Structures are given as structure tokens and as C-alpha cells.
Amino acid sequence: MCENKFFLPMTLAIGCCLFLALAPGCGDDEGEGVAPSISNLFFGPASASVLRQGGLLGVTVSMDYADPDGDIAFVRMRSRFCGEGELQHVDIAPGGITGHQAGAIWISARVPRDCPAGTYLYEFSVFDQKGLESNTLEATLTLTTQTGP
């Protein structure tokens, strides 16, 4: 019976050590951070007329974000030029959100307007300063042939 009086305290000590080692944000995982998340994407305008002489269309993009670390670095916009070729991207640094854990991101971008009429896909995600990427949201732009004068 005497040897069992150390069993319970030892079991509790081992259990506490395991809990601390496996708890989120503790142990070896500390410093890795949490990936941001985005939702409620707005991309506009959603349609425009084709310009045959080349040119770019200014678009407004907004999305809600949550980032427990408060360290959003940039928004990545991906697309294929005129729907063809390799997936290309541009990184856009949003202003005024450093240190904030949630809110809205508003950015402006320019996209090709001299592509053939059709619908083009754009993908958006955000990266934090540790390089962690959020989920991806998609938007489309429909280019139509201009009719009339």
C-alpha cells in the first residue's frame, strides 16, 4: 500500500506534461502562427465590354478576413491571361490592416479588357507575414462584344 501513494501524483504530473506539450500554441508548435481565412468576396464590375485596342479594366475587390495573428501581408490575385497559358499572379498589399485580427480588405486592381468575349476566372487568397495562405475565393469577369456605335 505504501508504494501506491506516489502513483496518483506521478500520473497527474505525466498527464499535465502531455497536455502542455500537445496544447495548441504550446510546445514545438509555438511561433508557427495560424493561417488567415477570408469570406464574402466582392469583385466588380462583374462584366464589361471588350476593347479591341487593348486596355485594362479597373476592378474593386473586397473581402472579409480573420487572422488571429493580425499579420496579413498581401492579397494574391491569380488568373490566366485571357483564359490561356500558365496561371499568373499579382500580389497586392492592402493598407491599414496591420495588427488587426478581423475586418475587411479593399483593394483595386487592373485586369485585361482586350481578351475575346467570354467569362474569366480570378482567384483570391491572402498571405500572412509567416507565409501562411488562407482559403481561396473565386470571382468571374464576363467580357461581352460591344454592340452599337
Average pLDDT, the chain: 82
The pTM of this model reads 0.76
CB-based contacts of 9: which residues, under 8 Å, 6+ apart? Answer: none
12-21, 73-82, 129-138: range with lowest mean pLDDT: 12-21
* Helices (H), ranges, the chain: 7-22
The most distant pair of C-alpha atoms in the chain lies apart, rounded to whole Å, by: 100
Is residue 140 pLDDT above 50, yes or no?
yes
d(CA 39, CA 130): 21
CA 136, chain centre distance (Å): 6
7-11, 62-66, 99-103, 115-119: range with lowest mean pLDDT: 7-11
